[in-house]
Structure 1
C-alpha cells in the first residue's frame, strides 16, 4: 500500500493476534483468553441445552425448537448417513461435538469477544485426538488389530503384491498420520485465516476513517469497512460449515471403524 495513502505508522495485524499471555501477572501460563472463552462457551452451551429441554413441551417453541432442529440436523445429515443403524447411540457425542465447535467458532464474530476458540491449534488437536482414539478403539475392539490392519492394507480385488508395495504404505500413512492431522488442521486453518482477514479489514477501515483520515484514504477505509461486513457474513457461513465438516468426518471415522465394508 503506498505510503502517501497509508502513512508510515500503519501496521497490518499479524500472528501476534493469536499470542495470548496469562490473564494477569503470576497467573498459570495456560490461563489465557482462549481457555476462558472455551470454558464460558461450554457453560453457555449447557445453559442453552438446559433451557431447551428442562421442561420439554409437546409442541416445541423457542430454545426447544432450536435444540430439536439442531438434533435432527446432526442425526439426519451426519450420523445416519455415515453410521447407519448405530447412529442414535452416537448422537450425544456427535451433537455435543457439533454444538461446541459451532459455538466456539461463532465467538469470533461476537463484538467484544471476537476470537474463535478453534483458531488456537490446541483445541482442534484435542478434538481430533479424541475422535482418533475412539476410531481406533472401535476398530480394534470389533475387528481385532490384525483384522483391521488387513482390511486397510489389502482391499478386495487388489493383487496382494501391488497392495503390499504401493497401497498399504499409503493407506497406513493416511490412517495413522495424515487423517488425524488434517482433521485438526482443516478446522484450525479456516478459523485462523478468517480471524486474520476480519482483523485486517477492520484495522484498515479504522485507520483510514478514524486514526489517519485523508482524501485518498477515506475511500479505502470505506471499502475496507464494506469488506469487513461481507467477510463477517462469509465467516459465519464458514464457521457453520467447518463445524459440520469436522463432525461429519468424525461420524465417517466412527462408521468406518464399526463397519469395515463402508
Structure 2
C-alpha cells in the first residue's frame, strides 16, 4: 500500500492536537504566540484544541448576551431552547444538591461549565475540526478547576477546621487512620474520574466514526461499482448512526460532568448530610 493510501486510512490523525489544520489538500499552520514576562519570552503554540476552546468561549459570549436581550415573558426561538436547559440545570442539578442560597452563588460557574463542555463536544463533530474535550489535558484542567471549587466552597461555608474534621466521620480511633487514607484517596479519585470519563467518551466516538468510514475504502477497494456501492452502504450508515449518537453523547457528557461537580460541591457544603 502506498504512503498516500495509508494517510487516507489513518483514523488517528484527526484526534491529534497539532498546529496544522488539514482540509483535503489545503493546510494551514496556526501561529505561535510569544509572551514576554519578567524578562523572559514564553511561547504559546495555538493548536487545534486551543482554537476550538476559543471558538466555544466566543460562541458563549455571542449567544448568551443575545438571548438575555429578549424581554418577553414567553421565551421564543433561541431563548426558549437555552432557557429550558438553564432552568433544568438550576432546578434539577444545582438546587437538588445544595440549598438555594448556596446554589445561587455557584450557579454561574455550573452554567458556564456545562455549556463550555457542551459546545466543545459539538465542535468536535464539525468536519476537519477537533474535539478539545478529547484531550486529557483539557478534561484534567476542567476537573482540577471543579476540584478547587468543591473544596474552596466547603471551606468558605464551614470554616477550614470544621471542614477538615468532616473529611473523616466519627469512628473509633483505631480505624480513623485507615479511613483518613481512604477518604483522601476518594477526594483525589473524584476529579480523576471526571477527567477520564469525559476524555474517554469523547475520544471513543470520534475513533469509531473514521474506523467505519475506512471500512468503505477497505471493503470496496478493487471491487466493481455495482458490488462496491452496496457493500459500502452498511459502514456508511453505521458512521452516520454513530455521528447522530455523538450529538446526544455531547449533551449527556456535559450533563454528567456538571451533575457530579454539583454533587461533590453539595457534599462539601453540607458534610453532615
Alignment of 1:86-105 (within 5 A): 86-105=102-121
Is 2:236 aligned against 1:225?
yes
Aligned residues: 249
Q: What is the 5 A alignment of 1:41-120?
A: 41-85=56-100, 86-113=102-129, 115-120=130-135
**TM-score with structure 2 length normalisation?**
0.81
- After TM superposition, the structure 1 = structure 2 runs for residues 1-262 of structure 1, keeping only pairs within 5 Å, are 11-14=9-12, 17-21=15-19, 24=29, 27-28=32-33, 30-85=45-100, 86-113=102-129, 115-153=130-168, 155-156=169-170, 158-165=171-178, 167-175=179-187, 177-206=188-217, 208=219, 212=221, 214=223, 218-262=229-273
**C-alpha separation in 1, matches of 2:62 and 2:136:** 26
> Where does the alignment leave 5 or more consecutive residues of structure 2 unmatched?
21-27, 34-43
Q: TM-score, normalising length from structure 1?
A: 0.84
**Distance verdict in 2 for CA 1:105–1:16, change over 3 Å:** closer
Contact 1:207 1:221 in 2 (8 A): no
User: Alignment partner of 1:39: what SS?
Assistant: helix
Given that 2:114 and 2:258 are in contact with CA atoms closer than 8 Å, whether structure 1 keeps it comes out as yes
Q: Which structure has greater helix proportion?
A: 1
CA distance in 2, matches of 1:16, 1:233: 19
Give the 3 Å change call, closer, same or farther, for CA 62–173 of structure 1 in structure 2. same
Taking structure 1 as reference, are residues 141 and 60 closer, same or farther at Cα in structure 2, changes over 3 Å only? closer
Q: Report the alpha carbon displacement of residue 207 of structure 1 after superposing the two structures with TM.
A: 5.2
Greater fraction of residues in strand: 2
Q: By how many angstroms is 1:238 displaced? A: 1.4
Rate the CA distance shift 1:236–1:144 in 2: closer, same or farther, 3 A. same
Q: Is the 8 A contact 2:15 2:131 kept in 1?
A: no
Cα deviation digits, residues 137-176 of structure 1 (max 9, x gap): 12223334343232222x24x43322322x221111111x
Cα root mean square deviation, aligned:
2.5
Unaligned ranges ≥5, structure 1: none
